[in-house]
């Protein structure tokens, strides 16, 4: 498959079945150098199968796949030295120390990072000589991430990399991923956290039932940028809807004393409402203005599949 220099991954018509179960029914996407792609989708939708085909762990049934210009099913060693992989399950020999595990890995690559650099990168300085089995779950995940970065990979696969992290560790991992992209590396990320996709991804692909149901940036996917804005506030005591300066034809819904409007552009409405509130000295309690979140769009796209 011909690729221009900037295309790191190209997937066309990818199919895969396990017995009679059609796990992938024709997946297509492309990923450019230096970008972060977030693959979203319910459990069992085909995310991990897709990623494992790209990683070379599984053979595809049909379609075309190219990773850094190479077909991953050939299990080319050069390709493996250019790719870093973080699997869902954390798997490191428990009786080695952190530094030993990283050093062991560094012998495998032509141009590895130094052990101390990797330890510093994932913030495990205090655990340098600790046995891996004594690390907490989050620390083991960070070591896992560090091990994937030892070989200075051009392309990094992160399968649910921050599951089980505390909020601080998550933010630090996000900074780490952003740093990798700033160095021109490319990242494929699967996650169940919409805020993670929002924070990191340049591209999002939503997979449901073995198909890509939507692609785009986190801000535009699924028509999110064209979705209606929702304005919500609590009606001040003794004020009726009729007292408010509302544009014609706008139907609010009232729920538990809170008024909610959905409209394409809320600028004028907000101006009128806040003007009225200031003039009359009646604050609008609980005033919020929201756009559809990535999660709203995701839930709509994956529909009832999400219950699986």
| List of residues contacting other proteins (CB under 8 A) | 55-57, 77-78, 80-81, 83, 85, 87, 89-93, 95-96, 100, 104-105, 107-110, 131, 151
Nearer to other proteins, 107 or 237 (CB): 107
The label of the residue with tokens 């990798």 reads 180
Nearer to other proteins, 186 or 302 (CB): 186
Q: Are 146 and 102 in contact (CB under 8 A)?
A: yes
What's the token pair of residue 138? 């989050």
What's the token pair of residue 205? 């692909």
CB of 308 to other proteins, least distance (A): 16
Residue 268 DSSP label: H
- Per DSSP, the three-state class of 44 is coil
What whole-number distance in Å separates Cα of residue 300 and Cα of residue 5? 36
User: Within 13 A of 158's CA, how many CA atoms are on the CB side?
Assistant: 33
CB of 155 to other proteins, least distance (A): 12
How far is the CA of 92 from the CAs of 79, 96, 108, 132, 147, in angstroms? 22, 8, 16, 8, 9
Which residue, 159, 150, 86, 75, is CA-closest to 116?
150
CB of 290 to other proteins, least distance (A): 40
Which residue, 216, 229, 208, is CA-closest to 300?
208
CB of 207 to other proteins, least distance (A): 19
Question: 10 Å Cβ neighbour count for 113?
Answer: 19
Nearer to other proteins, 107 or 279 (CB): 107
Nearer to other proteins, 77 or 226 (CB): 77
Nearer to other proteins, 99 or 239 (CB): 99
CB of 101 to other proteins, least distance (A): 8
Nearer to other proteins, 138 or 153 (CB): 153
CB of 144 to other proteins, least distance (A): 9
What's the token pair of residue 16? 């895969």
């Amino acid at each position: 498959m011909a690729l221009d220099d900037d295309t790191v991954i190209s997937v066309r018509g990818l199919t895969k079945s396990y017995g009679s179960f059609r796990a992938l029914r024709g997946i297509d996407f492309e990923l450019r150098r230096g970008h972060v792609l977030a693959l979203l989708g319910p459990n069992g939708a085909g995310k991990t199968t897709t990623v494992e085909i790209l990683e070379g762990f599984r053979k595809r049934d049909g379609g075309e796949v190219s990773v850094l210009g190479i077909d991953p099913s050939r299990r080319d060693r050069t390709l493996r030295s250019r790719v870093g992989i973080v699997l869902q399950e954390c798997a490191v020999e428990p009786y080695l120390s952190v530094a030993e595990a990283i050093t062991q890995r560094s012998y495998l690559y032509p141009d590895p990072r130094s052990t101390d650099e990797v330890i510093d990168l994932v913030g495990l300085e205090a655990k340098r000589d600790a046995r891996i089995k004594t690390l907490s779950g989050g620390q083991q995940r960070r070591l896992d991430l560090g091990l994937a970065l030892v070989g200075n990979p051009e392309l990094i696969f992160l399968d649910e990399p921050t599951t089980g992290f505390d909020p601080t560790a998550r933010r630090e991992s996000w900074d780490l991923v952003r740093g990798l992209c700033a160095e021109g590396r490319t990242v494929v990320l699967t996650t169940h956290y919409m805020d993670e996709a929002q924070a990191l991804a340049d591209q999002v692909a939503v997979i449901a039932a073995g198909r890509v149901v939507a692609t785009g940036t986190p801000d535009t996917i699924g028509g999110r940028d064209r979705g209606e804005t929702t304005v919500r506030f609590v009606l001040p005591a003794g004020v009726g809807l009729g007292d408010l300066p509302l544009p014609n034809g706008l139907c609010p819904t009232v729920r538990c004393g809170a008024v909610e409007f959905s409209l394409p552009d809320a600028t004028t409405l907000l101006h009128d409402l806040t003007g009225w509130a200031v003039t009359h000295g009646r604050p609008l309690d609980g005033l919020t203005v929201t756009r559809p979140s990535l999660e709203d769009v995701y839930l709509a796209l994956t529909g009832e599949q999400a219950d699986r």
